[in-house]
Structure 1
């Protein structure tokens, strides 16, 4: 057991105007005793319409206590695996099942690559990235199959192919499978039937994005060697401060500031790390904020940027609030500091409080299922092809890039890829945003991430970047349910070597493209423009796209040199 941990936690409202705007909401939260009521799991805090859902989603507030019994079991399981020579952890999971373990392992290692607690996070359907994970040393590999519902298509597909490859290499697959799921799911039943190495049931009264300190966050992290007992202690040390009905409660300050900014028109929250040491924390917070608040045509859009110097942060407009994870630098309006366990609990609490002030249920996700349903229909042939980007002739082929559009007749007749980008950006309203969605290999195609700062710099628009289909379990909710002022740049790529999914009528490549197409259809049905760029050659296509972004800015009228 770890010794008690002191976990200093602070939230600074650096901007005097924002602090003043938040003061009335702080007073309201304190007067209504919201922090202590939340600590007591009062499901009425978000109104009668949300009460039923909230009553089944509040166990996260005391996970620092209720998850403690897991520690001994996970320590023993890791010891058993190591005794068998198994020390490579691959995590098959999406959204809340992958984002927390990734930030936990990387933060405790001090690096996003390798380090003391290496973990391979497989939150993709890209056949190349899945093949890379399969190419590792299988003799040393355990697969953590993590799905709250037990039916996540990406995770099930990864489980199937790992089972096949384990067996083909003379390895008893059941001995290398650790399942994390809610009680009573089909995955739990399958794991029991096949005799998997371990079945660890998570608390069913915690939603995925609030599950960092449940089995979903702790199991893969512990198997990778993280001291998860210490992580729980950090949250426990912060809990009393976050449960006080006081104007200096950090969660009350943060929740009130986010809500005050949103209600004044700053519906975007730009997150930059300024030396917190919490590697990848912004990606975890992105899901928490977007899925919790982006619904009913309102909400907070998280924009994770590369640093406080990155486009979208220091040069932000009136539609955004800028927040540092770490000391306040670069014109930050809010700064949060604290240990990883404390920050998990801080942001969970603050976002729940902001939801109350904004007027939404922070625990449902009414628009997440729509893209999944569209994908299923495309895969089984029951959906309509009339609005499918993949089924129409390209409006333009510019070198290695095929250009298609959805969401109306806004594209016109572009002559170049730069023309198409100009047309997309022209559809963004003032204080709108650009969402870049890359259905590519997060490792081999990592250069795609340069598109976010380039587009933000050259258009002056807040710009997000998401790897598909991972973002569908994160900002995907906001895209359909939040403020409808986004334009969408969707990137797909040719598949050189596809990968079959055992006992399924589709491959990983087909699944990946169906997910892109299904999401594009749903976004277009909401009246938003989607520019679909298919890269016949991924490497050459990304170079061409980056060059086109630079060329397009000259005629958009939105170049930062003009608008800032």
Structure 2
């Protein structure tokens, strides 16, 4: 089965058809399929020349399968049934989608939250296999996870070399560290950027260990591959033309809808791919995930096997390849380089500088509302009366073509610990979870504005929409949520804990946004559970 792109609205269909015809006349379809790095201009060419390996992964990644098959056999024979993936951005999002779609368990650590990491550590450590995945080999979150697990394994009398698998690029610092420690290493294609790496070792190794059929992913991608060099019936060209043309016409908020799809969670992966690839030079396409489509004129609803202004249907492996191709095409239409991420490093550098200070400069709250401290600057000359007033002012500050981004540096699984009555129905448990989940704040505020609201878990989103926030259009309003840490986790060999790192990441990104004049407010929960309850209550009062 291949991928199809169909249209439910006349205007996007006409714009896409016209743009696709122009691109085909320019030979873009053949040039991209052949890996031509000149498609995005002379400034982009050096980066593009080393970033087009994803076009042939359906063939080249098969070289991994024999060694991967032996590893899976060994892990099964040893009874290691708890697969943990330590990775950020492109190293975690694809495996998360693959395993969720295959309905096989994978614990993903793309966080610096001490509670979330401790929960993974406390779960079947004696049966845990850890995949440490980092393209650069220097990702601070992943390095921290590796160090923490190495100590935990040793403390439990387990040899880390028997439990840690490393996925990285050739000659990265992590490769040498891993080989010195005796870890099995899978090397990924260095000519593939992180967000295009779904079908490399980064996507395949943890997914196969968890039990997914990764060969089928490659087969499905291979089935669509011949279409990508065609001028007609090319789903990648049609989708990329639609995304680029819609953004140029002002519909640059891409609402991703997948309620009818058997693929589980693909919009989260698309969010990183599209936001980080296009959000730069004051341009970009903003993906909006997990939200109900609104009536804003700048929204374009894209359905994954679901109805929308456009609908993309097909199996997961083929979807990966088609969306990658389409994003590269959209970059050409928008006139940007879809393979660089010029603003991602800034927040990382800010975090490093903050960690070097004796104390983190948290500042003085402008308001304390029960268990919630408010930091930052709000529009208006008067101090806010309460938390509802803070929300009201933030919503009012969103430009007519803008959005609100909620960024929660918290434990994204903590809501599942919310108490519920014994014998409660699934609906009652879901209601209890929702009432304890900071992500519920997005839905509560969304009904009070016509503008899109995005939600991201920090620092996960820094490797995704973080590029768009800083490099995209100057029309975002930003709401950070941080929380007090009751029980921290030491990072062996480093002078900081996870809790300190997590807060430094929030402050570092806040500084990067503030320097661009982008309104940013931080809400700090001095008691996490009570703080979330107060946030949601205040949102209902707006």
Shorter-chain TM-score bucket reads: over 0.9
Q: Which of the numbers 463, 488, 505 marks the counterpart of 1:515?
A: 505
What is the rounded CA distance, in whole Å, between the counterparts of 2:116 and 2:259 in structure 1?
A: 30
Deviation at 1:360, TM superposition (A): 0.3
In structure 2, the partner of 1:158 is 145
In structure 2, the partner of 1:76 is 70
Deviation at 1:22, TM superposition (A): 2.3
What is the rounded CA distance, in whole Å, between the counterparts of 2:381 and 2:14 in structure 1?
A: 44
Q: Which of the numbers 282, 287, 306 marks the counterpart of 1:327?
A: 306
In structure 2, the partner of 1:559 is none
Deviation at 1:543, TM superposition (A): 1.3
SS at 1:144's partner residue? strand
SS at 1:404's partner residue? strand
Structure 1 stretches lacking a partner, 5+ long? 1-6, 110-116, 553-564
Q: Which of the numbers 266, 289, 309 marks the counterpart of 2:251?
A: 266
Deviation at 1:410, TM superposition (A): 4.9
In structure 2, the partner of 1:257 is 242
Deviation at 1:316, TM superposition (A): 2.8
SS at 1:67's partner residue? helix
Instruction: Between 90-99 and 222-231, report the one with greater CA deviation.
Output: 222-231
Residue deviations 1:499-520, cap 9 Å, x none? 1111111100000000001001
- Mapped contact 1:325–1:336 kept (Cα < 8 A): yes
- Mapped contact 2:2–2:220 kept (Cα < 8 A): no
In structure 2, the partner of 1:200 is 186
In structure 1, the partner of 2:390 is 420
In structure 2, the partner of 1:435 is 405
In structure 2, the partner of 1:189 is 176
Instruction: Between 415-424 and 359-368, report the one with greater CA deviation.
Output: 415-424
In structure 2, the partner of 1:129 is 116
Deviation at 1:177, TM superposition (A): 0.7
SS at 2:64's partner residue? helix
Residue deviations 1:70-115, cap 9 Å, x none? 1111110111122222221100000000000000000011xxxxxx
Instruction: Between 472-481 and 235-244, report the one with greater CA deviation.
Output: 235-244
- Mapped contact 1:410–1:529 kept (Cα < 8 A): no
SS at 1:458's partner residue? coil
- Mapped contact 1:411–1:423 kept (Cα < 8 A): no
| Residue 360 of structure 1 pairs with residue 339 of structure 2 | no
Structure 2 stretches lacking a partner, 5+ long? 416-435
SS at 2:288's partner residue? strand
In structure 2, the partner of 1:238 is 224
- Mapped contact 1:411–1:424 kept (Cα < 8 A): no
Q: Which of the numbers 57, 64, 67 marks the counterpart of 2:61?
A: 67
Deviation at 1:448, TM superposition (A): 1.1
Residue deviations 1:408-437, cap 9 Å, x none? 765730110111112222221112100000
- Mapped contact 2:490–2:497 kept (Cα < 8 A): yes
SS at 2:488's partner residue? coil
Deviation at 1:23, TM superposition (A): 2.4
Deviation at 1:220, TM superposition (A): 0.2
Residue deviations 1:340-386, cap 9 Å, x none? 00100110011100100010000000000000000000001299x7x
- Mapped contact 2:257–2:306 kept (Cα < 8 A): no
Post-superposition, which runs of at least 4 consecutive aligned residues in structure 1 deviate over 3 A?
A: 408-412
Q: CA RMSD in A?
A: 1.4
Residue deviations 1:424-457, cap 9 Å, x none? 2222111210000000001004711111222221
What is the rounded CA distance, in whole Å, between the counterparts of 1:505 and 1:376 in structure 2?
A: 12
Q: How is 1:89-488 mapped onto 2 (pairs within 5 angstroms)?
A: 89-109=83-103, 117-196=104-183, 198-246=184-232, 248-306=233-291, 310=292, 313=293, 315-328=294-307, 332-381=308-357, 388=361, 390=362, 392-406=363-377, 410=380, 412-445=382-415, 447-488=437-478
Going from structure 1 to structure 2, the CA distance change for 1:380 and 1:411 (only over 3 Å counts) comes to farther
What is the rounded CA distance, in whole Å, between the counterparts of 2:531 and 2:395 in structure 1?
A: 20
In structure 1, the partner of 2:28 is 34
Q: How many residues were matched structurally?
A: 522
